Structure 1
Amino acid sequence: MKLKVCGMKYVENIRQVAELQPDYLGFIFYEKSKRNFEGIIPEIPKGIKKTGVFVNEYVEILVSLAEEYKLEALQLHGDESVAYIKELKEYLEQSRKEKRLSKVEIIKVFGIKDEFDFSILKPYEDVVDYFLFDTKGKERGGNGVTFDWKVLEGYNSTKPFFLSGGIGLQEVEKVQQILKTDLPVYALDVNSKFEKEPGLKSIKDLKKFKKIVYDK
């Protein structure tokens, strides 16, 4: 199972988190977010996928940022339709042909609170690489609360997914329980529960989490 640390913002902190070798590092390109990323991404190990998080962004702007930052994954956190994603993929393919980008993964986010109609995922299955399930709240992510993971018992797709929403050290036992199920949990996505302030991650807490959950 992979680990994604999202909401990165500060150069030195990015370097420190990268030393822990997560599989994905997330950078939020959304002006309304407290973790909105601007500036430079320092050199990080090749095995870590730089992930851009976007909310209902114009396709041209999104692709331009993907090229600028050499993103390897795109997380769509808004109300992006299947048609939008198809258009995005056409742009990405053109960019790849012109060697401005390499292969880019597409992650589509869905917010869950107390219940969820999983049938709405069906049209997306052929156009995305992964789903991501986050807690539905007033913010577009980073709310710091978990949703009821029992809802995922109704998940009827084989598409692997990222599990997100308020995952911290206190959720370790819950994480270990869900990993014993047959659900195709591809990655855990952590953010606000590991922060000293928005965008600044606690290396000590991340190390502890990684050791308990991943270093078996």
Structure 2
Amino acid sequence: MSISAKICGISTSEALDAAIAGGADYVGFVFFEKSPRHLEIDRAKELAALARGRVKSVVLTVNATDEALREIVDEVLPDVLQLHGSETPERVAEIKKLFERPVIKAISVATADDVRNADAYAGIADLILFDAKAVPGADLPGGNGRTFDWAALDGISDNLPFMLSGGLSPDNVAAAIARTHPVAVDVSSGVEIAPGIKDPERIRRFLQAAKTAKHT
């Protein structure tokens, strides 16, 4: 069975079509105003409608309030919620119960100590996403095109399936899969020609590399 793959930061129908044609399992819509991939509700609603029944939609938020999440969920009707801020395990559980959606919780990683933070979310988040920790003062918590030392994941429990992100591209995703054995991979800036501008050909290449990679 091939690995699951997510193309995050989708903002055009062309990028969405490329992701679907390439076999993406998830597409991500970003709700974070500092991001070049940020979408307004109406645009996300249009894209999610195009995706429905063809690929699972994920909405990414950062420390969003219940009110903000409610508007997004009611209008966009996403399949999955991705929490990319400093949400505590208690907050993740609360969001999952309130909105009745599977939750992906992002964990920012620079060292193996950061990876251990994921243990607190085991059994609460449906999937952990390990992403590269942003540099101090960065505007974005993710989508910065940074990798982290994959050796930091060496001690992770086999009972904690995870999605890998952080600086992945068509050129390194196969090596990342072979090294870390994730259940899924996630890319944003690695398939762009400029911040927020997806390249359909890079999307195709990334998905082909991910889907044919050797993994356990």
Aligned to 2:15: 13
1:88 Cα shift? 1.3
Match for residue 96 of structure 1? none
Shift of 1:199: 2.5
Shift of 1:128: 0.8
> 1:49 is matched with which residue: 56, 65, 68?
56
Match of 1:194 in 2: 191
Provide the aligned length of Structure 1 versus Structure 2.
202
Residue 155 of structure 1 and its aligned partner are, at CA, apart by 1.1
Q: How far apart are 1:84 and its partner, in Å?
A: 1.2
Confirm or deny that 1:86 pairs with 2:93: yes
Q: Relative to structure 1, is the Cα distance of residues 118 and 135 closer, same or farther in structure 2, using a 3 angstrom cutoff?
A: closer
CA distance in 1, matches of 2:61, 2:130: 15
On the 8 A contact 1:4/1:24 being kept in 2, the answer is yes
Q: Which is worse superposed, 152-161 or 124-133?
A: 152-161
Q: Which amino acid aligns with 1:75?
A: Q
2:39 to 37, 40, 45: 37
Alpha carbons 2:174, 2:210 under 8 Å: kept: no
Q: Summarize the Cα distance change of 1:29–1:172 in structure 2 as closer, same or farther, 3 Å threshold.
A: closer
After the TM superposition, which residues 165-176 of structure 1 pair with which residues of structure 2 at under 5 Å, given as runs?
A: 165-176=166-177
1:132 matched to 2:129? The reply is: yes
Residue 78 of structure 1 aligns with an amino acid whose one-letter code is G
Decide which of 107, 112, 133 is 1:110's aligned counterpart.
Answer: 107
Change (3 A) 1:112 1:28: same
> What do the CA deviations read for 1:146-200 (whole angstroms, capped 9, x no partner)?
1000000021251211100010123145225326xxx4x1101011011022232
Gaps of 5+ in 2: none
C-alpha distance in 1, partners of 2:177/2:58? 25
Deviation at 1:215, TM superposition (A): 4.1
In structure 2, C-alpha distance between the alignment counterparts of 1:134 and 1:118, rounded to whole Å: 10
1:71 alignment counterpart: 78
**2:163 corresponding residue in structure 1:** 162
Shift of 1:116: 2.4
Letter in 1 for 2:62: V
Secondary structure at the counterpart of residue 80 of structure 1: coil
Deviations 1:61-111 (A, max 9, x none): 113202211101111000001221222123124xxxxxxxxxx21000011
CA pair 147-12 structure 1, distance change in 2 beyond 3 A: same
Identity among equivalent positions (%) equals 32
TM-score (norm 1): 0.85
Task: Tell me, yes or no, if the aligned pair for 1:118 and 1:156 is still in contact at 8 Å.
Answer: no
SS in 2 for 1:169: coil
